[in-house]
């Protein structure tokens, strides 16, 4: 599903965020990317969402070379991804329902089917009762779950999350991670950037460890202690 | 998780077809496009209504910019019509010297009638002149104080309708040279001057309209620019979940259309108000010209075209600015 081949990313100003990174994530796999802050976790996810472009190397996503996706092709590619952000990036002036509906609307789905999907997604994250509320009336954990509902509502091939539990207390964080594991269980590829090592260990999934933009360890799920 | 879904995973519509893109449930492109246009139009209208004061100020500024050339056009049309009404009887008044007798006046009239470019000559006696003056408001009192009639004989010379301007000019200068003639008053040259002046006015209205259309474009553009800047976060989110630039832009284009439409309607309403305000004084003026003068109202098609043209301007302004502002967004 994901293939990084000798990928480097140098930002303007010379800071090298990723350096000759190579790894693969198979379809239906769930993996964590971890490392200290500034290790390149976020950059890695940004390259997948085409928010940033690599300086060197080739990234392949579902068999597609991302370097060949032009500006006009970016929206189409992003519609096949589900992205979850630490600050959830919800539209605060639209209801929970409207937020989750957004990717379907962009994708051009019929309203009736849209409503069905949105309710299913909200039900999945346990927020069906809040569909008419504005995000600001929800707790941080609930807002993050709305963000997850939005990411999965269009049934993406790949779900990527950047520190999705960064702002949550530990019990909520476990809940959110379990939710991601459930999506993996039904076949979605999941890639999560997190620096919360205890939580990652608890999940018992594959862990990719970065340090100063280099891959320093790649621990298979069964080897996670 | 304390709020477990009640639907089993594999029966939930969300999860029954993993990472498919919902093939059969997708709208056909045209239907989806139409739906989003409807949504954008409604959403942008709601946004404008949610800050009524700002919207009203923008619309008012645009409406004034549109109403100005419209009002000038209205005034110009009426001045032109007034000139026509006055020039209809394009007679040349030949004032004879005081003391010229009735016989010499009639002789001169007879000689003038023989000229090919003259269609008719009427002799106005001093008594007729006095009667006309007496009918005019405010003069009757003053006339009583006169001992004798100071008015001369006047010949009203009517050139032929197909007479060339040159031959009329020659006629006027010839009459100047006739002995016993005191003064020749030619409404024609006055009318020519007015027409030349109106030509300048028409050009000025066009230039003014173009400048103010540019002003409308800039006002819309700036408003939309501020709007986009204040919503950069929302735009970022939309782009992240896969919205195309056209999708992001659509509500702003509709905002431009709404601004234009509203200001156009307001400007047309303003022009109608000016018409109403002018109707009364013009009617009074018309009485002086024997009821020949009525206010020339703006044609309905023009009043209808103003909002449409303004909407196009609004759209254009929004389009230019949004293209420029979203060029970096990805």
Chain A residue numbers touching B9 (CB-CB < 8 A)? 182, 185-186
Residue A132: inside a domain, yes or no?
no
Q: pTM, whole model, 2 decimals?
A: 0.74
Chain B residue numbers touching A76 (CB-CB < 8 A)? 242
**Helix residue spans in A79-169 (DSSP H):** 96-106, 111-124, 140-152
How many other C-beta atoms lie within 10 A of the C-beta of residue B104? 15
Q: Judge contact between A79 and A25, C-beta under 8 A.
A: no
Chain B residue numbers touching A105 (CB-CB < 8 A)? 36, 39
Q: What is the mean pLDDT of residues A35-54?
A: 91
d(CA B243, CA B249) in angstroms, rounded, equals 10
CATH number for the domain formed by residue range(s) B98-179: 3.30.70
Which residues of B lie inside 8 Å of A (Cβ-Cβ)? 1-7, 9-10, 12-15, 17-22, 25-27, 29, 31-33, 35-36, 39, 233-234, 236-245, 247, 330
Pick from B242, B245, B323 the residue to mutate for testing the A interface (most A CBs within 10 Å): B242
Question: Which of A71, A155, A187 lies closest to B21 in CB terms?
Answer: A155
Q: How far is CA B247 from CA A102, A152, B43, B179, B242, in A?
A: 11, 21, 13, 85, 10
Tell me whether A152 touches chain B (CB under 8 Å). yes
Q: Judge contact between A6 and A56, C-beta under 8 A.
A: yes
Which residues span the domain enclosing A192?
A: 2-80+156-223
Residue of higher predicted confidence among B125 and A134: A134
Residue A194: inside a domain, yes or no?
yes
Chain B residue numbers touching A185 (CB-CB < 8 A)? 9
Q: Is the dihedral of CA B172, B175, B177, B181 positive or negative?
A: negative
Q: What is the dihedral of CA A66, A72, A77, A81, to 10 degrees?
A: 110
CATH code for the domain of A67: 3.40.50.300
Q: Which of residues 15-34 of A touch B (CB under 8 A)?
A: none
Q: How far is CA B23 from CA A16, A44, A113, B20, in A?
A: 41, 30, 11, 7
What is the pLDDT at residue A20? 93
Chain A residue numbers touching B2 (CB-CB < 8 A)? 126
Q: Which of residues 100-119 of A touch B (CB under 8 A)?
A: 102-111, 113, 116-117
pLDDT tier for residue A189 given thresholds of 50, 70 and 90: very high
Pick from A63, A80, A86, A108 the residue to mutate for testing the B interface (most B CBs within 10 Å): A108
What is the pLDDT at residue B39? 87
Tell me whether A74 touches chain B (CB under 8 Å). yes
Q: Judge contact between B123 and B153, C-beta under 8 A.
A: yes
Q: Provide the b/e sequence for B42-81 (b: ≥16 CB within 10 Å).
A: ebbbebbeeeeeebeebbebbbbbbbbbbbbbbebbbebb
Q: Judge contact between A4 and A57, C-beta under 8 A.
A: yes
Contact A110 B242 (CB under 8 A): no
What is the secondary structure of A166-198 as a DSSP string?
Answer: TTS-HHHHHHHHHHHHHHHHTT-EEEEE---HH
Q: What are the percentages of helix, strand and coil residues in chain A, rounded to 5?
A: 40, 25, 35
Residue A110: inside a domain, yes or no?
no
Strand, coil or helix: what is A13?
Answer: coil
Residue A104: inside a domain, yes or no?
no
d(CA B183, CA B190) in angstroms, rounded, equals 15
| Structural domain count, chain A | 1
Nearest-CA distance A108 → chain B (Å): 5
What's CA A118's distance to the chain center, in Å?
19
Nearest-CA distance A144 → chain B (Å): 14
Residue A212: inside a domain, yes or no?
yes
- Chain A residue with CA closest to B232: the answer is A91
Domain borders along chain B are 30-86+193-325, 98-179
Question: Which of A107, A127, A152 lies closest to B21 in CB terms?
Answer: A107
Contact B242 A106 (CB under 8 A): yes
Contact A120 B7 (CB under 8 A): yes
Contact A123 B5 (CB under 8 A): yes
Q: pLDDT (tens digit, 9 = 90+) per residue, A143-152?
A: 999 999 999 9
Residue A142: inside a domain, yes or no?
no
pLDDT along chain B (330 residues), means of 10: 42 46 60 85 91 93 92 85 65 85 88 87 86 73 75 85 76 84 78 80 89 92 91 91 91 95 95 88 72 73 93 95 80
Chain A residue numbers touching B18 (CB-CB < 8 A)? 155, 186-188
Phi, psi of B312 (to 5 degrees): -65, -40
Question: Which of A109, A121, A150 lies closest to B26 in CB terms?
Answer: A109
Residue of higher predicted confidence among A86 and B147: A86
Q: How far is CA A108 from CA A70, A76, A129, B78, B250, in A?
A: 21, 12, 25, 54, 15
Q: How far is CA A141 from CA A130, A169, B88, in A?
A: 13, 8, 85
d(CA B218, CA B58) in angstroms, rounded, equals 11
- Chain A residue with CA closest to B236: the answer is A89
How many other C-beta atoms lie within 10 A of the C-beta of residue B209? 18
Q: What is the mean pLDDT of residues A105-117?
A: 91
Q: How far is CA A165 from CA A124, A125, A151, A168, A169, in A?
A: 18, 15, 15, 5, 8
Question: Which of A105, A153, A155 lies closest to B19 in CB terms?
Answer: A155
d(CA B9, CA A189) in angstroms, rounded, equals 17
Chain B residue numbers touching A51 (CB-CB < 8 A)? 240, 330
How many other C-beta atoms lie within 10 A of the C-beta of residue A21? 24
What is the pLDDT at residue B21? 45
Q: How far is CA B144 from CA A79, B153, B203, B229, in A?
A: 96, 20, 49, 78
Chain A residue numbers touching B26 (CB-CB < 8 A)? 107-110
Chain B residue numbers touching A175 (CB-CB < 8 A)? 1
Chain A residue numbers touching B13 (CB-CB < 8 A)? 116-117, 120
Q: What is the 3-state secondary structure (H, E, C) of chain B?
A: CCCCCCCCHHHCCCCCCCCCCCHHHECCHHHHHHHHHHHHHHHHHHHHHHCHHHHHHHHHHHHHHHHHHHHHHHHHHHHHHHHHHHHCCCCEEEEECCCCCHHHHHHHHHHHHCCCCEEEEEEECHHHHHHHHHHCCCCHHHHHCCCCCCCCCEEEEEECCCCCHHHHHHHHHHHHHCCCEEEEEEHHHHHHHHHHHHHHHHHHHHHHHHHHHHHHHHHHHHHHHHHHHHCHHHHHHHHHCCCCHHHHHHHHHHHHHHHHHHHHHHHHHHHHHHHHHHHHHHHHHHHHCCCCCCCCCCCHHHHHHHHHHHHHHHHHHHHHHHHHHCCCCC
Residue A115: inside a domain, yes or no?
no
pLDDT tier for residue A136 given thresholds of 50, 70 and 90: very high
Contact B18 A186 (CB under 8 A): yes
- The yes-or-no verdict on residue A54 having pLDDT over 50 is yes
């Amino acid at each position: 599903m994901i293939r990084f081949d000798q990928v480097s990313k140098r930002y303007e100003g010379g800071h090298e965020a990723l350096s000759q990174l190579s790894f693969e994530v198979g379809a239906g796999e769930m993996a964590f990317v971890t490392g200290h802050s500034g290790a390149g976790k976020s950059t890695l996810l940004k390259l997948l969402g085409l928010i940033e472009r690599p300086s060197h190397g080739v990234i392949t996503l579902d068999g597609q070379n991302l370097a060949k996706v032009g500006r006009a092709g970016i929206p189409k590619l992003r519609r096949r991804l589900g992205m979850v952000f630490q600050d959830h990036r919800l539209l605060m002036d639209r209801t929970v329902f409207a937020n989750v509906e957004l990717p379907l609307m962009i994708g051009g789905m019929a309203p009736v089917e849209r409503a069905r999907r949105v309710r299913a997604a909200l039900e999945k994250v346990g927020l069906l009762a809040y569909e008419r509320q504005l995000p600001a009336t929800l707790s941080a954990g609930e807002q993050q779950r709305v963000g997850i509902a939005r990411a999965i509502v269009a049934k993406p091939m790949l779900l990527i999350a950047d520190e999705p539990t960064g702002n949550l207390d530990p019990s909520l964080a476990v809940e959110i991670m379990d939710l991601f594991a459930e999506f993996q269980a039904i076949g979605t590829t999941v890639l999560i950037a997190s620096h919360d090592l205890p939580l990652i260990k608890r999940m018992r999934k594959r862990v990719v460890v970065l340090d100063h933009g280099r891959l320093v360890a790649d621990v298979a799920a069964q080897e996670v202690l | 998780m304390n709020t477990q879904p009640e639907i089993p995973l594999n029966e939930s519509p969300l999860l029954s077809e993993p990472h498919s893109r919902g093939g059969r449930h997708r709208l056909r492109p045209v239907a989806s496009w139409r739906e989003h246009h409807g949504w954008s139009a409604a959403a942008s209208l709601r946004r404008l209504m949610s800050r009524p004061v700002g919207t009203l100020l923008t619309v008012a500024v645009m409406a004034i910019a549109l109403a100005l050339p419209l009002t000038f056009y209205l005034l110009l049309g009426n001045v032109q019509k007034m000139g026509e009404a006055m020039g209809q009887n394009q007679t040349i008044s030949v004032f004879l010297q005081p003391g010229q007798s009735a016989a010499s006046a009639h002789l001169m009239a007879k000689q003038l009638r023989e000229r090919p470019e003259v269609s008719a000559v009427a002799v106005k006696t001093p008594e007729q002149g006095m009667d006309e003056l007496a009918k005019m408001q405010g003069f009757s009192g003053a006339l009583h104080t006169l001992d004798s009639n100071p008015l001369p004989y006047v010949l009203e010379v009517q050139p032929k309708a197909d007479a060339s301007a040159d031959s009329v000019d020659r006629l006027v200068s010839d009459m100047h040279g006739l002995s016993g003639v005191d003064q020749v008053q030619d409404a024609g040259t006055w009318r020519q001057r007015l027409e030349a002046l109106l030509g300048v006015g028409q050009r000025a209205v066009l230039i003014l309209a173009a400048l103010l259309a540019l002003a409308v474009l800039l006002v819309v553009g700036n408003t939309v620019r501020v709007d986009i800047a204040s919503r950069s976060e929302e735009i970022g989110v939309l782009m992240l979940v896969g919205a195309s630039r056209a999708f992001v832009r659509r509500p702003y284009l509709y905002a431009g259309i709404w601004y234009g439409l509203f200001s156009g309607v307001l400007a047309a309403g303003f022009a109608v108000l000016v018409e109403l305000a002018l109707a009364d004084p013009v009617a009074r003026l018309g009485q002086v010209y024997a009821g020949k003068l009525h206010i020339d109202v703006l044609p309905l098609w023009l009043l209808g075209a103003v909002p449409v043209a303004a909407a196009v301007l609004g759209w254009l302004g929004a389009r230019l600015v949004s293209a420029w502002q979203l060029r970096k967004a990805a």
